[in-house]
């Protein structure tokens, strides 16, 4: 007899994985996504310098083996984390993404540039505060030891306790338009 609900979930995941693979191979027949293709893949054109730097950092974070390409497994791992990952794993990944210089801490300048980039990519829809004010508020709230840098621990704890900061992070990797594109392709195939 067996577990029919488990096989249904597995079948759904297999179908979804197949769609992701078809999308990936359609957009990237070589099986390796370059930075330029990554920007095209996600419809990111004409970005300002901060947004461009953020997208390049996102690419480097997705490129887990640091070979300058995102292969299908790296693509699936990234999408899976962003779409289904546990909050703890997402927060650790966001930290790695935001820690541009890789020194294990996020300073004000790094966070400010990320906030500006997110706003540029998502559109500057009537923000109540400037990116500078938002960055200062985040540091005032979650930089527990006051050293001007956010450690991984401060970042995770702060994100969990500051709804505004958490919302900005969630917007920074909103891939709903990618999921919609994959589903639309499924209907047209």
| Predicted pLDDT of residue 182 | 46
| Predicted pLDDT of residue 51 | 77
| Predicted pLDDT of residue 39 | 82
| Predicted pLDDT of residue 145 | 93
Whole-structure pTM value: 0.69
pLDDT along the chain (189 residues), means of 10: 47 74 84 86 73 84 91 84 79 88 94 84 70 91 93 92 80 55 47
Residues 131, 115 contacting (CB under 8 angstroms) = yes
Residues 48, 120 contacting (CB under 8 angstroms) = yes
| Predicted pLDDT of residue 123 | 67
**By CB neighbour count within 10 A (0-12 exposed, 13-18 middle, 19+ buried), where does 70 fall?**
buried
Q: Which two tokens stand for residue 62?
A: 């997705």
| Predicted pLDDT of residue 124 | 61
- Sign of the Cα torsion 73, 77, 79, 80 reads positive
| Predicted pLDDT of residue 188 | 47
């Amino acid at each position: 007899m067996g577990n029919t609900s488990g096989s249904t979930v597995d079948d759904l995941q297999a179908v979804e994985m197949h769609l992701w693979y078809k999308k990936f191979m359609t957009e990237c027949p070589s099986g390796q996504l370059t930075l330029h293709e990554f920007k095209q893949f996600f419809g990111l054109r004409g970005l300002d310098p901060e947004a461009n730097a953020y997208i390049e950092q996102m690419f480097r974070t997705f490129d887990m083996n640091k070979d300058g390409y995102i292969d299908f497994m790296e693509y699936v791992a990234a999408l899976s984390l962003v779409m289904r990952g546990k909050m703890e794993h997402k927060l650790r990944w966001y930290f790695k993404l935001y820690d541009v210089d890789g020194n294990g801490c996020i300073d004000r300048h790094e966070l400010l540039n990320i906030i500006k980039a997110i706003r540029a990519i998502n559109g500057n829809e009537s923000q109540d505060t400037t990116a500078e004010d938002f960055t200062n508020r985040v540091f005032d709230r979650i930089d527990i030891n006051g050293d001007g840098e956010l450690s991984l621990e401060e970042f995770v704890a702060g994100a969990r306790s500051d709804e505004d900061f958490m919302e900005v992070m969630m917007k920074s990797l909103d891939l709903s338009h990618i999921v919609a594109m994959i589903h639309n392709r499924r209907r047209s195939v």
